[in-house]
Structure 1
Amino acid sequence: MALGFSGTARSAEVSFPSWQWGESANASILNKIKEEFERNNSGDILKPINIPYEGFFDKQYSEVRAGSPSDIVTLFDPEMASYVKQGLLDPLNKYMEMAGVSVDQLSVSHKIALKDGNIYGVAFQTNPRALLLNLKLFKDAGVPIPTNVDEFLNAMAEIRNPAKQQFGFYSLSTSGPAQDAYLQTAPIILGFGGSWLKAGKPTANSPQTIAALKFIKKVYDDGLVPRVDSRAAQQLFIDGKIASFVVGPFLVGFTAEQNKETRENIDAIVPPFSGKQSAAVTVFLAIPKAAKNKDAAGRFIAAMLNPKMQEDIVATVNGLPAVKGSIPAGFVEKNPWYRAFVEAGDHAVSYAPEGMEEYGPEIYNIVGPVIEDILFNNKDVDQAANALQSELEEFVAKKKAN
């Protein structure tokens, strides 16, 4: 499928900074898209820029607001909504047409990138959260795969082995940026049927949200989770030291590269929490209005939507594709763990604050410190949730008044 116009006089260097260039699975598929783009668009090149994840979104936003952005920006759900709200992005409709993909063929995760019939971001990958399992650790401890919260807590306690530095589960356990506290706990909050906001109305002290917060606090207080950040926890899972992790399917790809034994023992289920709901994190690619090489950047995104490339994204990084129906034939049968992520994706909701998605970064800074107070300063959950409810109500009222 040729997505360019060879022979047209042009030459553009498309700048694309991302931490993903430093992650082998992501870099592998991004380089495939780069090759496809450059092969079909004579004279144009894509310039990968590998930069650290820490501080990435703040730096990117500052550049976009200053009118000196890269040609392609990377956005999670709340950032996507915020950029659309502020009118910072160019629509991608003509590049969708170039790729032969209509808006209604895009996955449900694109709802946040749509406005007035225009699409402003296309998913590089969507990562719904499921409970990734190391079956060997469950078998060694003699515990069944849990089907409810009580069974889950029991399994975590039985698998915990201090002598082996072995844990049954991972959830937030170290202080860090507010965004990390929000993002790491969102799948559990949503899994219990809770939320910080529903349809733009704060729900921080709902029974479901409080139940989720008490669960997160219990596993921390009882020493059932390692005291490390999420990236270190991913490595512990790969190393066979953590039995379960509410995480996206990308971790399977990382595991396959580094630890064959763990990879052979992987399975996944929809988290056995009471709300039977999952969270999804989507990595969008978009083009700022002030980008210097917008047309070439759009053609790179069109190359990503090539049907074969969509299948390669699934096979390489294990995320859900942008275009519905792009899971390769036989992939689920060969990778039965993937079924749980597909199922989770069918009823997943964005982790962005519902109804106030564009204010996600500001809401992180309200919610994150409260979660840390509960865990690290032993703040009473009910009191903290009630105080947070009032703070969020005040925040929403001010935004609606403006």
Structure 2
Amino acid sequence: MKKRMGTFTSILMSAMILTACGGDSTAGSGDSSNALTLYSGVSEDAEKEAIEEVAQAFEDETGISIDINFPGTGYEDQMRVRMASNDLPDLFDTHGWAINRYGEYVADLSNMDWVEHFDPAMAPILKDEDGKVYAFPINQAKDGIMYNATLLEEYGIELPTTVDEWVDAMETVKEKGNGEVTPLWIPGSNQYTIAQILDQLSTPLLVTADSHNYESELLDGSVDWSTYTALPEFLKELQEKELLNTDVLTASEAQRIELMAQNKIAFTFAGGAFGPAVTELNPDIQVGAVPVPAFWEGDEPSWIGGERNTFAVFKDSKNVEEAKQFIEFLAQPKNAKKLAEATSLPAGVTSVETENYYSEFYDKWAHVEIQPYFDRVYLPSGMWDVYAITGQELLSGTKTAEQVSEEMQSEYLRLRNQ
């Protein structure tokens, strides 16, 4: 495992995902037949509650009710079906795809007052060269690896900046935890949590290191996906060394908060609301965030980020003006602050200052650059499912690392040509 830097390596994160997780839920008020429809990809209870509270305040002020839906892991599938029939909700989360996937379906928000407060990091993601603004950003992603800061301090473990250092840390956890602590815990019953990990680790594997930068080949379609094999090899090696939870393919996200609060997890990939939920359950546990370690020698760690949760307006909605009115309401500092803080992420507009659970960790690693999500820049639509399926097949033993790379290659080419 040693000297992986410069030979091979890498690893993981969740979040949120934005991409969305956790169970179905619907909330609404008033006469739902006259309500605005709103779909969101948020997954944590605190995030859902904040949206519901702001929606209720909007109804109290305007008399306009909102039928809120949280489809969980089915979010993207439902939105694809609704795009195909041009029947999207009045308001919906573009979850990282405001321009590339949903661009033709959303109304222009450029004439709204809050636009002048765009965070410079968000403007290129949600605003095109013609000035069209595609969505209101609730927050902005800054993903890395979540860790049990209390436990690592107790074990005397330094925070890793390379994958080799991270593996050393996990092996120390395994030794000092006497089998009671899982070094890296993955809720793989939701295959998209595995996809999130693979996506985040693809950036240091294939982009950020000068010695292994395949950016141009990824963009023009000529990349040789055998260069990806080191990543599934690494994940499989962690499993074989018993550094992953033994129930990796059946474990659910619902277990994760309680296990971390019980000091039974060292590292995991989770969304921003994870830390506050753990500390609320056990005030003696502090969850930290560390950037994704460098995969290759000479490289630096990376935050993975960009658009996380947003609200866009369906351009063909019968309630465009009412939906825009709701977004203006969301953009009021007190409401924007509530939503951003519920996700424990920075706000997407500069007019809002948030008190963030992870602020001390973000400050510690403020010098680390934020890289965009790999799939949003380099992969065709549909590859998220390929990440998820091949990741589960790898961990179940039905595919080798080489076969995973072959599947990624064939699907990458097929989807690019669609």
Task: Place the TM-score, normalised by the shorter chain, in its bin.
Answer: 0.7 to 0.9
Distance 1:92 1:238, change over 3 A: farther
Correspondence for 2:109 among 92, 101, 108: 92
Q: How does 1:377-388 map to 2 (within 5 A)?
A: 377=397, 379-386=399-406, 388=408
Identity %: 16
Deviation at 1:204, TM superposition (A): 6.0
- The answer to whether residue 135 in structure 2 is matched with residue 121 in structure 1 is yes
Contact in 1 for aligned 2:276/2:357 (Cα 8 Å): no
Question: Aligned residue for 2:211?
Answer: none
Deviations 1:87-143 (A, max 9, x none): 22222223xx2x3423x7245345343343211222222232122221232234343
Query: Are 1:308 and 2:331 an aligned pair?
Result: no
Aligned with 2:90: secondary structure? Answer: coil
1:267/1:260 Cα in 2 relative to 1: closer, same or farther (>3 Å)?
Answer: same
| Number of the residue aligned with 1:266 | 287
TM-aligned CA deviation for residue 12 of structure 1: 5.9
Structure 1 residue ranges without an equivalent (≥5): 1-10
1:53 aligns with 2:76: no
What's the counterpart of residue 217 of structure 1? 236
Q: Taking structure 1 as reference, are residues 325 and 187 closer, same or farther at Cα in structure 2, changes over 3 Å only?
A: farther
2:38 aligned partner: 16
Cα pair distance change 1:143/1:183, threshold 3 Å: closer
The one-letter code sitting in structure 2 at the alignment partner of 1:25 is A
Which residue identity lines up with residue 105 of structure 1 in the other structure? F
Partner of 1:352: 375
CA change 1:315–1:78 in 2 (3 A) is: closer
Task: State the Cα distance separating 1:376 from its structure 2 match.
Answer: 2.1
Given that 1:201 and 1:393 are in contact with CA atoms closer than 8 Å, whether structure 2 keeps it comes out as yes
- Which one of 88, 92, 105 corresponds to residue 118 of structure 2? 105
TM-score by length of 2: 0.75
Give the equivalent residue in structure 2 for 1:3. Answer: none
Maintained 8 Å contact 1:205/1:382:
no
Q: Give 1:188's aligned amino acid.
A: L
What is the CA–CA distance in structure 2 between the aligned matches of 1:175 and 1:202, rounded to whole Å?
Answer: 33
The structure-2 alpha-carbon separation of the partners of 1:125 and 1:387, relative to structure 1 and needing over 3 Å to count, comes to: same
Alignment of 1:52-201 (within 5 A): 52-78=71-97, 81-84=100-103, 87-94=104-111, 97=112, 99-102=113-116, 105-109=118-122, 111-115=124-128, 116-160=130-174, 165-171=180-186, 174=188, 176-177=190-191, 179-194=192-207, 198-201=218-221
In the aligned structure 1, how far is the partner of 2:366 from the partner of 2:241?
32
Per-residue CA shift, 1:47-71, capped at 9, x if unaligned?
334x441322212332343344321
Contact 1:266-1:337 at 8 Å conserved across structures: no
Specify whether residues 312 and 368 from structure 1 end up closer, same or farther in structure 2 by C-alpha distance, changes over 3 A only. Answer: closer
The letter for the 2-side match of 1:132 is M
Root-mean-square deviation (Å):
3.3
1:337 aligns with 2:384: no
Does structure 1 residue 236 correspond to structure 2 residue 256? no
Give the partner amino acid of 2:319. Answer: N
* Paired residues for 1:30-49 under 5 Å: 30-38=51-59, 40=61, 42-49=62-69
SS in 2 for 1:192: helix
Give how far 1:236 is off.
Answer: 2.6
Q: Return the TM-score normalized by structure 1.
A: 0.78
Change (3 A) 1:68 1:78: closer
Distance of 1:67 and 1:341 partners within structure 2: 43
Q: Partner residue of 1:8?
A: none
Report the equivalent of 2:302: 277
* Dislocated runs of 4+, deviation >6 Å: none
- The answer to which structure has the higher helix fraction is 1
The DSSP-based 3-state class of the residue aligned with 2:194 is helix
Please say if residues 275 and 288 of structure 2, whose CA atoms lie closer than 8 Å, have aligned partners that are also in contact: no
1:341 & 1:290 partners in 2: Cα distance? 43
Q: CA 1:151–1:283 in structure 2 vs 1: closer, same or farther (change >3 Å)?
A: same
Paired residues of 2:303 and 2:370 also in contact (CA < 8 A): yes
Task: Give CA-to-partner distance per residue, 1:236-262, whole Å, 9 cap, x none.
Answer: 334422112244433223223322122
In structure 2, runs of 5+ residues without a counterpart are 1-32, 208-213
For residues 181 and 204 of structure 1, what CA distance do their matches in structure 2 show? 22
Matched to 2:302, the amino acid is: Q
For residues 209-264 of structure 1, the C-alpha deviation after alignment (integer angstroms, 9 at most, x for no partner) is 333332222212222112224453354334422112244433223223322122xx
Change (3 A) 1:213 1:389: same
C-alpha distance 340-293 of structure 1, shift in aligned 2 (>3 A): farther
Distance in 1 (CA, whole Å) between partners of 2:366 and 2:342 is 16
Q: 1:267 Cα deviation (Å)?
A: 2.7
Structure 2 contact 273–344 (Cα < 8 Å) conserved: yes
What is the deviation of 1:343? Answer: 5.7
Give the direction of change, closer, same or farther, for the CA distance of 1:391–1:47 in structure 2 (3 Å limit): closer
| Mapped partners of 1:59, 1:52: distance in 2 | 8
